[in-house]
Each structure stands twice: as C-alpha cells, then as structure tokens.
Amino acid sequence: MKKAALVLLLLGACVLTFSMSFRKEPVPAELREIAVEPETAAAAEKFARDIQRIAKQKTPREFGRHCADLQDKTLSGSYRALKQYDERGMAVSGITRMAKTPDTCTLTLSNSSGVEALMVCRHTGGEWKFVCFSPVRALLQ
C-alpha cells in the first residue's frame, strides 16, 4: 500500500513539474528577411545568367562544378528544369537572404513569357554555388 501511494505521489509530482515547465506560447520564427547589398544583387544576377548558360550549353560535369552539394537528390531535377526555363528576357526581380542562413540567397526570376522561378544559391568566400531551381508553377502543384 505504501509503495502504491509513493508511486502515485511521484507520478503526480512528475505531472505537476511537466505542466509547470511546458512552454505554452509559440517560439517566434528566426527566419527574418535581411537586406541584400547592391553589389551582391548584381553578382547574384550575373551568376543566375551564367548558371543558366552553363546548364544549356555545357556538360553536366561542368554544371556540377558550380553546385554546392553534388549529393543532393533534387539536383538532377533542378538541372532539367533550368535547361527548360526560357531565358529570354530573364531578370532577377527579387533577392532575399534569411537571417538564420545569411550565406544562402533566394533569387526570384521572371522571363519575357511571365514565368517566374526560384533559384537558391550560396555565397561563401566570394564564390557563388548553385543549390536548387524550380519554376513557381511547379511549386504550386
């Protein structure tokens, strides 16, 4: 009888401790958009045009030299989508960096046909690396 009372007392203490320590308010997101310097924006736009040209005209091996992670399983899909994206009138309409990962930039591209796309790149040590690419309509499906 004493053991059962002791177990119930310990169980009650655990429940009370957990209920007091449980955080009820949500943790605020730490992904805040931060400003991109004009020279970084110009370099990102140049990199987007270069990687587009490399995907269309060069070999996959040459394209791979400009990628951040060759083990990424989404890289081949990004490569095919980038080859099919119409670069006529392509312009970078927006560049964002997130506070949590300041070396990663998301480029919003648009072309003369009005098709938007997102390209994610890493900018570390003065060098740009390709991460992924997707037309916006593919993201919405």
Percentage of residues in the chain having pLDDT higher than 90: 2
For CA atoms 50, 55, 59, 62, the dihedral sign is positive
Q: How confident is the model at residue 109 (pLDDT cuts 50, 70, 90)?
A: confident
Q: In whole numbers, what is the pLDDT of the chain averaged over residues?
A: 80
Instruction: Tell me the whole-structure pTM to 2 decimals.
Output: 0.67
Domain hosting residue 40, numbered range: 30-140
Read off the pLDDT of each residue in 32-37 and give the average, rounded to a whole number: 77
Residue 136 covered by a domain: yes
Neighbouring CB atoms inside 10 A of 132's CB total: 20
Please choose, from the candidates 108, 117, 122, the residue with its C-alpha nearest in 3D space to the C-alpha of residue 138. 117
Residue 98 covered by a domain: yes
Q: How many domains does the chain have?
A: 1
Instruction: Output the domain CATH number for residue 98.
Output: 3.10.450
Q: How confident is the model at residue 39 (pLDDT cuts 50, 70, 90)?
A: confident
Residue 23 covered by a domain: no
Q: Map tokens 């958009």 to a residue.
A: 33
68: enclosing H helix or E strand: none
Residue 88 covered by a domain: yes
Q: How confident is the model at residue 141 (pLDDT cuts 50, 70, 90)?
A: very low
Residue 12 covered by a domain: no
